Amino acid sequence: MAAASFQIASAPKPDKLRALGIMALNGMFDEMDGVSVLRQAVTELLVDDVAIVSSFGADSSVLLHMVSQVDPSLPVYFLETGKHFPETLAYVETLKQHLGLTNVIALTPDAKDIVRFDPAGDLWETDPDSCCHIRKTEPLDAVVTNLGGWVTGRKRYQTKERGVLPHFELTSDDRIKVNPLAYFSDADVTAYKLKYGLPEHPLYNMGYKSIGCAPCTSVVAEGEDPRAGRWRGLNKKECGIHFDFNGAIAKPMAAQELNLFKDGAFIADPFRTWAEGDDAGSVRYTHVPLKVFLEQREAFLANPHPLGLLVSPGDNVELVEKDLGRFASVAINFPGFTDGRGYSSARLLVERYGYKGELRAVGDVLQDQVPLMRRCGITAFVVKHEPTRKALIEGKLATVDIFYQPVGTTEIPVGTRPFLRRAVETV
């Protein structure tokens, strides 16, 4: 049976029509085989606008074989987290050769993120969600941001959470996730591998039924959920790139807003704000208000996780001078356009106390303020104001060329200081 053609008009946000379109697609392809679903996705629904994501794990050969049938030059993205078993890296090469895949692309984490958040390489142990975030979600986000969707190898039988996985899902950021193997059973996977003589992952016959990063993968006992060996002992089932699926067909995901502007782009923010009830000894990736930090200083200093500090107008940053090295990020709160106290705090932190971590502006951050904030050492901005976001993305912010109060020792354009102007005028 030929795959039906079904185009969905693009829209800036998920809407009822688009969600209905996805539901209709699921109805049409409910009975279809995986190759037809994949072919529909890459030749009709998302032409030149889709990526295949593969873990090159225990079952990956099935989806990759389908890719080779449809088009071996399709881009296949492999999340090279830096934490894989050597056997997995060897298996990538084996499958490339065997299936003739010509466009396998390794996505690696941002080196700056690793230095900043996981310098010792043990974040998987203390904070696996954040580890997956910087090693998987962020690198993949950078690719799929420019695409209409991507193809996964997930299957219903793998976990309870995936029990009603559909062929097509709509995410809240208006992308389509395609799951050609959604209806495959464990037996279907085995039969498919046998039928096409696909090479097995070297660890599969050693009891690894679902294979991800080495530190987070263990052998699965007979009768266990195949993914039971992933993040064993932790209440974690997914790596973050599939969080959006919660059981309903085509259920939009709760997409993380990209509000943090840093290094020239809006990125997902690993930090959150302090909430009542948070525990000083175990909270992580949280901007702790300066007052709260001082009240529970010992507990925060004993906390092993990355932390940030929130400085608000009226806070005395001198009180945390000795502890500044503890914070991976300091957020300066600018509650209103007319409140300039944040500029002074930023300058004190950078110039007097030598703070070297991320310094970000939060609150009422508007485009006219950004150049002034930058002069004070602020390098990151949490921005919701749409015109400001646009100006940042397009690099259309004003620069400050003339000023009365130079900042630091480097920013002193000749002839712009008042006494120099007077000197010029009297000549």
**Which parts of this chain interact with ligand SF4 (CB under 6 A)?**
81, 83, 124, 128, 131-132, 135-136, 212-213, 215-216, 239
157, 181 in Cβ contact below 8 A? Answer: no
Helix axes 60-70, 86-99, angle to 10 degrees: 30
Query: Which one, 81 or 88, has the nearer CB to ligand SF4?
Result: 81
Q: Is 68 exposed, middle or buried (0-12, 13-18, 19+ CB in 10 A)?
A: buried
Rounded CA gap, 59 and 220, in Å? 15
| Active-site residue flag, 239 | yes
Output 99 or 213, the one with its CB closest to ligand SF4: 213
User: Which residues are CB-neighbours of 372 under 8 A, at least 6 positions away?
Assistant: 343, 400
Residue 216 vs residues 62, 84, 87, 118, 227: alpha-carbon distances, Å:
23, 10, 15, 16, 11
- To the nearest whole angstrom, how small is the minimum distance from the Cβ of residue 121 to ligand SF4? 9
Whether 304 contacts 336, CB under 8 Å: no
Active-site choice (131, 132, 216, 239): 239
Tell me the closest approach of the beta carbon of residue 138 to ligand SF4, in angstroms. Answer: 11
Q: Which residue lies nearer to ligand SF4 by CB, 214 or 324?
A: 214
Beta carbon of residue 305, minimum distance to ligand SF4 (angstroms, whole number): 14
Which one, of 60, 142, 138, 68, lies nearest residue 103 by Cα?
68
C-beta closer to ligand SF4: residue 136 or 155: 136
Rank residues 215 and 357 by Cβ distance to ligand SF4 and give the closer one: 215
Which residue's CB is nearer to ligand SF4, number 117 or number 150?
A: 117
Smallest gap from Cβ 386 to ligand SF4, in A, equals: 33
Residue 294 identity: L
CB of 265 to ligand SF4, least distance (A): 22
Q: Specify which residues 177 forms β-bridges with.
A: 150, 169
Closest-CB residue for ligand SF4?
Answer: 213
Shortest reach from residue 330's CB to ligand SF4, in Å = 26
CA-CA distance, 315 to 254, in Å (whole number)? 34
**Chain position carrying tokens 């279907």:** 188
- Decide if 290 contacts 317 (C-beta within 8 A): yes
| Cα dihedral 316/319/323/325 (nearest 10) | 40
- Show which residues are catalytic: 239
